[in-house]
Amino acid sequence: MNRQRILVTGAAGFIGSHTVDTLLSRGFEVVAVDNFRTGRATNIRQCVKDSGFVFEFADITQEKVLRSLCLKYRPDTIIHLAGLVSVVQAQDEPNLNYLLNIQATHIVAEAARASGVRRVVFASSAAVYGNNVNLPLHETSKTEPISLYGTAKRVSEQILDGHATTFGLEVASLRFFNVFGPRQDPQSPYSGVMSIFARRFAEGEAVKVFGDGAQTRDFISVFDVATALAQAASVTGITSEVCNVCTGRPVSVLEIIREFQEIYPSAPGPEFLSAREGEILHSVGDPAAASEILNFASEVSLQKGIHSLVEVSRPETVTHPRFAPEFA
């Protein structure tokens, strides 16, 4: 059997590790690359027994290192998920944002070109749309990022598009909306609302609502995101594509709270604080292009997604060691 081989950067991270799980379950060979800067060995521990799985401890910003990995394994596709994920940290550390969210993409594109990799799938973000209020957001909507993070994601899309146009690299940039699910870190001040709420409900503490809670986002389960990435790696007809990865359904903060309250009926009520300064009120994407180009549609309901998060949000299960010896 001629199995497709996929190299995943950021493989031990939140989205990366779920993507590896999905790829292996679909029979792909996976070369998982991570340097554990923020990824965790425990996220991919379950993959070690799979004969299609190889792990490489490597920093992909080292151009020679990534190129030699590509020449060693000759992947068909690179799914590039490694990056600086915190919007706030990107703002605080512009050099790191440049290195991890722009330069690294160029290094991936060049490594792909040098080693004959056919396709690159890239983790972009709805942050490229900034405060665009013409909803739902289409791929053709104006991109007007308002953060260094969003700008870097847009620049990376363009770098990859350049390699598609000039070198024939197949490229799919997936613009993730608000991704949530197990393995998302609830402890950092940059964490998304879902992981914070899951943790607080599990610990019996009141959640904090910024504003009146009527603000909405397009929350998509990480299981769906992993499916979208696997589709992007394998469907035919990709040249240079940009696709939203979203549900198309706006969900309010209050609706999320109601879902958690179904699970924790005796939880304390929410505490209402003033709205976050400058925050957008509503965001929702149009999922039509992903359906057409990737044959992908989100399948995990809000309720199911929250249940999967609750299962792993008990205080005793969320503290992982940063490093596990089997990957040393």
Minimum distance from CB of 229 to ligand UD2 (Å)?
19
Alpha carbon distances (Å) from 115 to 70, 157, 164, 234, 292: 6, 20, 15, 19, 30
Q: Is 279 one of the binding residues for ligand UD2 (CB under 6 A)?
A: yes
User: Distance between CA 119 and CA 133 in Å, rounded?
Assistant: 33
190 catalytic residue (yes or no) = no
Q: SS3 for 17? A: helix
Exactly one of 73, 149, 190, 264 is catalytic; name it.
Answer: 149
Closest approach of Cβ 153 to ligand UD2, in Å?
A: 10
Segment interacting with ligand UD2 (CB under 6 A) among 50-58, 275-283, 289-297, 313-321:
275-283
What angle in degrees, to the nearest 10, is found between the helix axes of 148-167 and 104-115? Answer: 20
126 binds ligand UD2 (CB under 6 A): yes
Long-range pairs for 65-73: beta carbons < 8 A, 24 or more residues apart:
66/9, 66/33, 66/107, 66/108, 66/111, 67/110, 67/111, 67/114, 67/115, 69/7, 69/31, 69/33, 69/111, 70/7, 70/111, 70/112, 70/114, 70/115, 70/117, 71/114, 71/115, 73/5, 73/7, 73/31
Q: Is 217 in the site for ligand UD2 (CB under 6 A)?
A: yes
Question: How many angstroms separate the CA atoms of 224 and 19, rounded?
Answer: 10
Using the minimum distance from each CB to ligand UD2, give the nearer residue, 124 or 234.
124
Closest separation between CB of residue 172 and ligand UD2, Å?
20
Cβ of residue 79: shortest distance to ligand UD2, in angstroms? 21
Q: Is 210 in the site for ligand UD2 (CB under 6 A)?
A: yes
Residue (188 or 240) nearer to ligand UD2, CB: 188
Residue nearest ligand UD2, CB atom distance: 87
Work out whether 215 is an interface residue with ligand UD2 (CB under 6 A).
Answer: yes
105 vs 115, beta carbon nearer ligand UD2: 105
For residue 145, is the peptide bond before it cis, meaning its omega torsion is within 30 degrees of 0? no
Interface mask toward ligand UD2 for 229-268; x: CB under 6 A: ------------------------x---------------
Interface pick for ligand UD2 out of 22, 35, 77, 178 (rule CB under 6 A) = 178
Binding of ligand UD2 by 190 (CB under 6 A): yes
87 binds ligand UD2 (CB under 6 A): yes
Report the alpha-carbon distance of residue 250 to residue 229 in Å, rounded.
22
C-alpha to C-alpha distances, 173 to 187, 222, 299, nearest whole angstrom: 29, 17, 21
CA proximity to 285, closest of 138, 153, 86, 65: 138
The verdict on 276 binding ligand UD2 (CB under 6 A) reads: yes
d(CA 26, CA 172): 19
Q: Which part of the chain contacts ligand UD2 (CB under 6 A), choosing from 33-41, 131-139, 209-217, 305-313?
A: 209-217
Q: Which is nearer to ligand UD2, 105 or 125 (CB)?
A: 125
User: Which of 208, 304, 314, 322 is in the footprint of ligand UD2 by CB under 6 A?
Assistant: 208
Q: How far apart are CA 27 and CA 52, in angstroms?
A: 8
User: Does the footprint of ligand UD2 cover residue 209 (CB under 6 A)?
Assistant: yes
**How many residues of this chain bind ligand UD2 (CB under 6 A)?**
19
Judged by DSSP in three states, 21 sits in: helix
Residue in 145, 192, 287, 305 binding ligand UD2, rule: CB under 6 A? 192
Binding site for ligand UD2 (CB under 6 A): 86-87, 126-127, 147, 178, 190, 192-193, 196, 208-210, 215, 217, 253, 276, 279, 283
Annotated catalytic sites, by residue? 149
